[in-house]
């Protein structure tokens, strides 16, 4: 039977891998001045922001499911939760900026440079944060990767 913990384990990979993928795709879109790819990247970023919210919301039930297990590290749970909170905030901002950029594109042929720069900076920050979220999340149960 599937549970909230299963959903968390499935959906949490979307923001971690997705932020890296979108960062690369958005940079390529900007380098090649491909407006269509820029628009697609922005909409995908909105979807990743929503997936981040789902991953975060399902985290509490997952925490309840693993806290009593002997191999679960309470230190890693706390670090994972802390970095997940930071990542949620950054991705919330990214989602709003991306949605604004996508809606702006629906009315104008280009968006301002500061929006592009903001998205790149936010994505760089999110990639770093999600790297830690994934690292600490994996270390909760996987004793073989703990240092």
- Tens of pLDDT, residue by residue over 77-92, are 999 999 999 999 999 9
Average pLDDT over residues 6-22: 95
Give the mean pLDDT of 14-29.
97
Domain that holds residue 87: 4-145
What's the mean per-residue pLDDT of the chain? 94
Angle at 88 between CA 95 and CA 117, to 5 degrees: 45
Question: What is the signed CA dihedral for 63, 20, 121, 43, rounded to 10 degrees?
Answer: -90
Whether the predicted pLDDT of 74 surpasses 70: yes
Per-residue burial over 51-80, b if 16 or more Cβ lie within 10 Å, else e, is bbebbbebbeebbeeeeeeeebbeebbebb
Cα–Cα distance between 21 and 118 in angstroms, integer? 17
Q: What is the pLDDT of residues 109-127, one digit of tens each?
A: 889 999 999 999 999 999 9
CA distance 101 to 115: 7
Instruction: Domain count for the chain, please give it.
Output: 1
**Spatial separation of the C-alpha atoms in residues 98 and 102, rounded to whole Å:** 6
* Res. 46: pLDDT tops 70: yes
Distances (CA, A) of 55 to 35, 51, 133: 30, 6, 11
Sign of CA dihedral 28, 32, 36, 42: positive
Instruction: Please tell me the least confidently modeled range out of 30-34, 60-64, 85-89.
Output: 60-64
Confidence of residue 142 (pLDDT cuts 50, 70, 90): confident
pLDDT of residue 143: 79
Q: Where does the pLDDT of residue 147 fall: very low under 50, low under 70, confident under 90, or very high at 90 and above? A: low
pTM, entire model? 0.92
């Amino acid at each position: 039977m599937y549970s909230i913990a299963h959903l968390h384990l499935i959906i949490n990979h979307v923001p971690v891998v997705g932020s890296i993928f979108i960062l690369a795709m958005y940079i390529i879109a900007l380098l090649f001045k491909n407006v269509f790819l820029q628009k697609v990247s922005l909409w995908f970023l909105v979807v990743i922001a929503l997936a981040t919210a789902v991953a975060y919301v399902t985290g509490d039930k997952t925490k309840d499911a693993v806290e009593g297990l002997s191999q679960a590290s309470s230190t890693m749970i706390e670090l994972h939760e802390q970095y997940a909170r930071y990542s949620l905030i950054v991705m919330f901002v990214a989602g709003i900026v991306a949605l604004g950029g996508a809606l702006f594109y629906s009315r104008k042929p280009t968006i301002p440079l500061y929006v592009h720069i903001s998205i790149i900076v936010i994505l760089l920050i999110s990639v770093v944060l999600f790297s830690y979220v994934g690292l600490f999340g994996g270390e909760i149960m996987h004793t073989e990767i703990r240092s």
